[in-house]
Amino acid sequence: MKRDGAFGLSINTATVRRQGDLVAILAACARHGIGAVAPWRDQVAAVGLARAARAVRDNGLALSGYCRGGMFPSDPSRRAEVRDDNRRAVDEALALGAPCLVLVVGGLPQFSRPGSPPTRDIAMARTQVEDGIAELLDHARDAGMPLAIEPLHPMYAADRSCVNSLAQALDLCDRLDPARGGALGVAVDVYHVWWDPDLQARIARAGQERLLAFHICDWLVPTADLLDDRGMMGDGVIDLPCIRGWMAEAGFAGHSEVEIFSKRWWSHPMEVVLATCIDRHRAVA
Ligand code: ZN
């Protein structure tokens, strides 16, 4: 099944982050006929924003997103730093031509912004997340850059994201952007939401206006590392065609973005990983 338009293949550049810098990754994607990528901020910073934007253009690539803004919870004294950091992320997304800035919102302040005093108050962290997104939304609206909240699996609630289900992310969207004007939505990453018994209904609830990105990989059993043991599509237990079907029914027409953090896949040559992504995207995703 070949899909050039909706659900066409995009490579999240973290998938091959250990095999080359961003310029090398974008050139390799283009060589493989891959039409879209989603770069990470640190990879962009390593080569420079102007050079990264030029490499996107010169290779004829589209973006499926920009990773990432967020990490809102912090010591109150650092609020301006967090705000400015996120505004810069919006501006970089704009310079690169991204369709959305993905937000990983952060967990407890001491992990989200190291150096912040330790706390166990996850409710307070969630309030800071909501306030932070509300504030960033003004800047993002002015820039015309949609924000995509990515709910993360609950195992990351302490250190990476205290938004842990699609329902929770959509509730945030409804409170902060009740008009559903396209400024705020969600990134659906199968790794984080595949287990959700209400996933189909939640994707339907999100609808076209809120579905801004679709990240794919697979869930391995057993999972050896909480962060860096994601599976290649087809190697695990996620029913990818089923979830893709729900996304299509809801009106999503963007890319299938392969995002695999895996020590195993980082140890293979970039060409092998990209060729495998192409094959698996065609065969099982
Ligand atoms: Zn993701």
CA angle 252, 258, 262 (to 5 degrees): 150
**How crowded is residue 33: how many other Cβ atoms within 10 Å of its Cβ?**
9
The 10s digit of each residue's pLDDT in 2-24 is: 445 699 999 999 999 999 999 99
Q: What is the pLDDT of residue 147?
A: 98
User: How close is the Cα of 258 to the center of ligand 1, in Å?
Assistant: 9
User: How close is the Cα of 150 to the center of ligand 1, in Å?
Assistant: 7
Q: What is the pLDDT of residue 3?
A: 44
User: How close is the Cα of 152 to the center of ligand 1, in Å?
Assistant: 8
Say whether pLDDT at 90 is over 60: yes
Say whether pLDDT at 1 is over 70: no
User: How close is the Cα of 160 to the center of ligand 1, in Å?
Assistant: 12
Q: Which residues of 122-157 are buried (b: 16+ CB within 10 A; e: fewer)?
A: eeebbebbbebbebbbebbbeeebbbbbbbbbeebb
User: How close is the Cα of 191 to the center of ligand 1, in Å?
Assistant: 8
Q: How many angstroms separate the CA atoms of 43 and 37, rounded? A: 12
Say whether pLDDT at 139 is over 60: yes
CA angle 8, 11, 12 (to 5 degrees): 130
The 10s digit of each residue's pLDDT in 145-196 is: 999 999 999 999 999 999 999 999 999 999 999 999 899 999 999 999 999 9
DSSP single-letter state for residue 232? P
Q: How many angstroms separate the CA atoms of 191 and 218, rounded? A: 6
The 10s digit of each residue's pLDDT in 33-66 is: 999 999 999 999 999 999 999 999 999 999 999 9
Contacts of 156 (CB under 8 A, 6+ apart): 107, 164, 226
Contacts of 207 (CB under 8 A, 6+ apart): 180, 250, 251
Q: How many angstroms separate the CA atoms of 1 and 239, rounded? A: 16
pTM here?
Answer: 0.97
User: How close is the Cα of 83 to the center of ligand 1, in Å?
Assistant: 22
7: left (phi over 0), alpha (psi -120 to 50) or beta: left
Say whether pLDDT at 32 is over 90: yes
- Check if the beta carbon of residue 258 is closer than 8 Å to that of residue 9: yes
End-to-end CA distance of the chain: 10
97: left (phi over 0), alpha (psi -120 to 50) or beta: left
Q: What is the pLDDT of residue 189?
A: 98
Q: Give, for 222, the enclosing helix (H) or strand (E).
A: none
The full DSSP string for 175-214 is HH-TT--SSEEEEEEHHHHTT-TTHHHHHHHHHHHHEEEE
Contacts of 49 (CB under 8 A, 6+ apart): 92, 95, 96
User: How close is the Cα of 102 to the center of ligand 1, in Å?
Assistant: 8
User: How close is the Cα of 232 to the center of ligand 1, in Å?
Assistant: 14
Arithmetic mean of pLDDT over the chain: 97
The 10s digit of each residue's pLDDT in 199-252 is: 999 999 999 999 999 999 999 999 999 999 999 999 999 999 999 999 999 999
User: How close is the Cα of 259 to the center of ligand 1, in Å?
Assistant: 6
User: How close is the Cα of 189 to the center of ligand 1, in Å?
Assistant: 5
Q: What is the pLDDT of residue 107?
A: 98
